């Protein structure tokens, strides 16, 4: 993934949470399923996992580009849960897209 593309992918995750009130394990599980099954988040789990890894290392804000009801801290904690949920679903199916 090019150096700055991870932020756009993380913004997809953040956008998908606009109507999610509680960023908990249940929400992370639902989103991980959507990623693995390529439903609403169709780039696939490898792309999202790589972007989450970059976001976890990033020292700047992650919630600065989209209006969101979630705080920076809550979103970062959610990304940790989401990373765990994605890892628990390995190995991911390979696809041609």
Element (H, E) at 80: helix 72-88
| 18 vs 60: CA distance, rounded Å | 21
Quick one: DSSP state of residue 16? T
Q: What ranges in 1-97 are assigned the alpha helix state H?
A: 5-15, 25-36, 45-57, 72-88
| 39 vs 44: CA distance, rounded Å | 9
pLDDT tens digits along 34-88: 999 999 898 999 999 999 999 999 999 999 999 999 999 999 999 999 999 999 9
Element (H, E) at 62: none
Q: What is the pTM of this model?
A: 0.91
């Amino acid at each position: 993934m090019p150096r700055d593309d991870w932020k756009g992918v993380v913004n997809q995750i953040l956008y998908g949470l606009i109507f999610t009130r509680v960023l908990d394990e249940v929400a992370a599980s639902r989103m991980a399923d959507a990623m693995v099954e390529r439903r609403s988040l169709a780039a696939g789990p490898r792309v999202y996992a790589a972007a989450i890894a970059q976001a976890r290392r990033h020292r700047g804000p992650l919630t600065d580009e989209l209006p969101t009801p979630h705080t920076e801290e809550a979103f970062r904690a959610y990304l940790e849960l989401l990373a765990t949920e994605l890892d628990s679903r390995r190995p991911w199916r390979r696809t041609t897209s």
